[in-house]
Amino acid sequence: MVTYVATLDVPRHVVDYLARLLAAHRRRIGTPRCSRALGPFRQAVLVLRWFRERGCVHCLVRNAGVSQATGYRYLHEGIGVLADRAPDLHEVLDRRRCEGMTHVILDGTLIESDRVAGVRENGNDLWFSQKTRHSVGTCSFCPPRTAPHCGSPMSRPGSTPDITAARIHALPALYKAAADGLPTLADKGYIGAGIGIHVPVRRPKGRSEQALHADTRTMNNLIRGVRALGERAAVELKQRWRTLQYVTLSPSRIGDIARAALVLNGIWK
């Protein structure tokens, strides 16, 4: 065995923030002092290593000197306390409108997983996506401009279309925001989402883009250009917290993991 020193490339104040949340959670549930294998700070490091490095849980628990069952319990506990801090979408939209935001961006992203969490009525994997040919979770993000931490994503099985997931979790709040002067920009996957959700106009089947009116093409280009900032924000979020690229826990936890990553992203600054 060869030992070496490693550095976790996460700001110290992010680790301290999570450690304080974990310490408060232990006091809330009545955990006796010094009764756990790891203190709040070392547990925070374990959780952040998993988020940041997409590390193998078996390796993380071995380095921390705890059992595999304890490591998973610590990891799920850290995800839970972070996800509980994620703001409600209605609150976020009200805050952004008061700050003078002109629009928000609705986008869906697929987060791969190596587990199967359920089956459909026809016997197929509930979390299987025909788009990626893999088990994934569909998360709907609502980042205003380039701030990916401002939306609270909700996860649905990978077999759920983006617009269906949005109707369940996001559109009710977005309709209210649009009525209050905060419209939403989305891609063609959200055609038919309703009033206040602006999407590019689809060209006629079998016709070229030039078949559209010049004003329509200009509007499409503007929507795509502005939406690109939101797509970039979602990509940056998945690159910073690499566990979102491939989740090794149950797909049913993808929503909590995404919300936890957004909370960490907001504290990072």
What's at 147, amino acid-wise?
A
- Whether residue 269 is contained in a domain is answered as no
Residues 107 and 218 in one domain: yes
| pLDDT score recorded for residue 149 | 42
> Does one domain contain both 66 and 151?
no
Task: Judge whether 39 lies within some domain.
Answer: yes
Q: Work out how many domains the chain is built from and give that number.
A: 2
| 109 closest CA partner among 245, 240, 253 | 245
In this structure, are 72 and 151 located in the same domain? no
pLDDT of residue 231: 78
Q: Let me know the angle formed at the C-alpha of 183 by 219 and 267, rounded to the nearest 5 degrees.
A: 115
Q: For residues 101 and 73, state if they share a domain.
A: no
- The one-digit pLDDT tens for each residue of the chain (269 residues) are 677 777 888 999 999 999 999 999 999 999 998 889 999 999 999 999 999 988 788 888 988 889 999 999 999 999 999 999 988 888 888 888 888 888 888 877 777 777 655 555 555 555 555 555 544 555 555 554 444 444 555 566 656 777 777 787 788 888 888 888 888 888 888 888 888 888 888 877 767 666 788 888 888 888 888 888 777 888 888 889 999 888 888 777 888 888 899 899 888 87
Q: Are residues 127 and 147 in the same domain?
A: yes
Last residue of a domain, one of 53, 83, 113: 83
One domain for residues 135 and 22: no
Mark which of 40, 64, 83 sits at the end of a domain.
Answer: 83
- Is there a domain that residue 257 lies in? no
Same domain assignment for residues 143 and 119: yes
State residue 78's pLDDT score. 96
The pLDDT of residue 216 is: 85
Domain match, 76 and 103 both? no
**Residue 266 placed within a domain:** no
Residue numbers of the domain that contains 47:
12-83
Flag whether 263 is in a domain: no
Q: What is the pLDDT of residue 247?
A: 83
Entry pTM: 0.80
Q: Are 186 and 155 in contact (CB under 8 A)?
A: no
With respect to residue 4, please indicate whether it lies within any of the assigned structural domains: no
242 and 153: one domain?
A: yes
CA distance 223 to 219: 6
Residue 163 has a pLDDT of 78
Is there a single domain that holds both residue 145 and residue 131?
yes
Report if residue 99 sits inside a domain.
yes
The per-residue DSSP string of 109-148 comes to EEEEES----B-TTSSBTTEETTTTEEEEEEEE---TT-G
Is the same domain home to 56 and 99?
no
- The domain boundary, picked from 83, 118, 133, lies at 83
- Whether residues 147 and 100 fall in one domain: yes
| Distance separating alpha carbons of residues 109 and 133, to the nearest angstrom | 15
Q: Do the domain assignments include residue 71?
A: yes
